[in-house]
Amino acid sequence: MLFVIFKQFFLLGCMSFGGPAAHLGYFKRHFVDNLKWLTAERYAQLISLSQALPGPGSSQVSFAMGVEKGGLLGGLCAFIGFTLPSFLIMFFLALSAHQFGDIYFAVIAGLKLFAVVIVADATYSMAMSFCKNHLHKLIAVLSTVALIVFSQLSSQIIVLIAAAALGWFYPQLKLPENQQHKSVKIAWLPLGLFTVLLLVSFLPLGEWFSVFAPFYQTGAMVFGGGHVVLPILQAGVPSLETEQFLSAYASAQAIPGPMFTIATYLGAQVSPNTPLIGAIVATLLIFLPGFLLMLAFMKSWLQLADKPRFAGSIAALNAAVVGFLAAALYSPIWQSAVQNLWQVGLVVAAFTWLRIAKPPIWWLLLGFIAFSVLIGQF
């Protein structure tokens, strides 16, 4: 059974283009409709849990389905199978990026413009979904301003804590009274391990440790999916250049599988002497927190989701995530990628096209690369 789980998720990992939302569609069609590994109701519960927790949403759902089918080892097989294709591609790109010369730099310029459009689209879509009342709009705006002015990792942590507190004390969601007193059964071992590892990650335990600890911290704090990885990792790993982050981000957009394998690329970059070890360690660390939290709350999610204060904190955190993306869109993405009026016009036109016509993401990607390569020849 473990090999079957690995094989099914590996095949999906090879063809799952389109980001987390598309991944969840593939999962439903394959595992719910065709293989009938779980019911549509249970699948919806796993999705709602993954959306409420930090971490890579579609990967958390795949891990949870593996756990339900084959226990903890089944979850690990699902994770390895779904992540391995994108891990290998991102690792190869990280090793070979410097070998392509001028064409490579032209491609990177195109990828950076592509990243502007994608992050702008993600920011707009998430703002429409998560900022539907005055409090959440205020949280998003204040988060944006705070993170533009104070870009350190500590500032991001403070913003998340403040947003969660506001959501807790001023919950905006009205839930039925008869659902507010159900007992909650949490798996304390994975939750305790998650907490201990997060606290340890902030300790000064040496240079090598300090290089990779931000990957775990990012996995523990990223609400809203792979787009938010960029600003948090950039604040936590200052040793890398902005171009390296944007190259990793844009590359992750263009390949199948989870966007969190941006950590694979960056892990190889921060440890040039042992790139494979760096890529593996960074990848495991960024995925681990989300998986531990899924194990902690898989059996108790329905009871927790019915508690207004808990649901209010999650909604406020999602609003703060909009601020994370908006701040990242301004700096470093826009400032690094857009240098002249031609690029402004191209970005605005591409964003408008994406919102109205919703073309395949590959069209935008190839268009930006072709444009940058052609411009680079003159």
Spell out the domain ranges in the chain.
85-376
- For residue 133, pLDDT beyond 50: yes
Phi first, then psi: give them for residue 277, nearest 5 degrees.
-65, -45
Residue 224: pLDDT band with limits 50, 70, 90: low
List, as one string, the DSSP characters of 61-96: HHHHHHHHHHHHHHHHHHHHHHHHHHHHHHHHHHHH
Q: What are the pLDDT digits (tens) for 296-338?
A: 998 887 677 677 888 888 788 888 878 887 887 887 778 878 8
- Predicted confidence at residue 294, as pLDDT, reads 93
Residue 63: pLDDT band with limits 50, 70, 90: very high
- For residue 180, pLDDT beyond 60: no
- Predicted confidence at residue 71, as pLDDT, reads 93
Those residues whose C-beta lies under 8 Å from the C-beta of residue 344, and which sit 6 or more positions away, are 338
Helix (H, G, I), strand (E, B) or coil at 377: coil
Residue 135: pLDDT band with limits 50, 70, 90: very high
- For residue 75, pLDDT beyond 90: yes
Helix (H, G, I), strand (E, B) or coil at 155: helix
Q: Which residue bears the tokens 């950590």?
A: 263
- Predicted confidence at residue 378, as pLDDT, reads 47
Q: Which of 2, 15, 111 is nearest to 66 (CA)?
A: 2
- For residue 216, pLDDT beyond 90: yes
Q: What are the pLDDT digits (tens) for 78-117?
A: 999 999 999 999 999 888 866 665 676 677 778 778 878 8
Q: Which of 232, 238, 192 is nearest to 216 (CA)?
A: 232
Q: Which two tokens stand for residue 183?
A: 């007992």
Q: At what angle do helices 262-270 and 242-254 cross, to 10 degrees?
A: 150
- Predicted confidence at residue 100, as pLDDT, reads 60
Q: In the predicted model, what is the mean pLDDT of residues 192-217?
A: 90
- For residue 354, pLDDT beyond 80: yes
Higher pLDDT pick, 226 / 207: 207
DSSP character at residue 223? -
Q: Which of 83, 21, 26 is nearest to 57 (CA)?
A: 21
- For residue 35, pLDDT beyond 50: yes
- Predicted confidence at residue 108, as pLDDT, reads 72
- Predicted confidence at residue 193, as pLDDT, reads 96
Residue 19 CA to residue 258 CA, distance in Å, equals: 7
Question: What's the distance, CA 297 to chain centroid?
Answer: 20
Q: What are the pLDDT digits (tens) for 273-303?
A: 899 999 999 999 999 999 999 999 988 876 7
Per the prediction, the chain carries an average pLDDT of 84
Q: What are the pLDDT digits (tens) for 246-274?
A: 888 878 877 888 889 999 999 999 998 89
CA 89-92-97 angle, to 5 degrees, is 120
List, as one string, the DSSP characters of 280-342: HHHHHHHHHHHHHHHHHHTTTHHHHHT-HHHHHHHHHHHHHHHHHHHHHIIIIIIHHH--SHH
What percentage of residues in the chain have a pLDDT greater than 70?
90
- Predicted confidence at residue 107, as pLDDT, reads 74
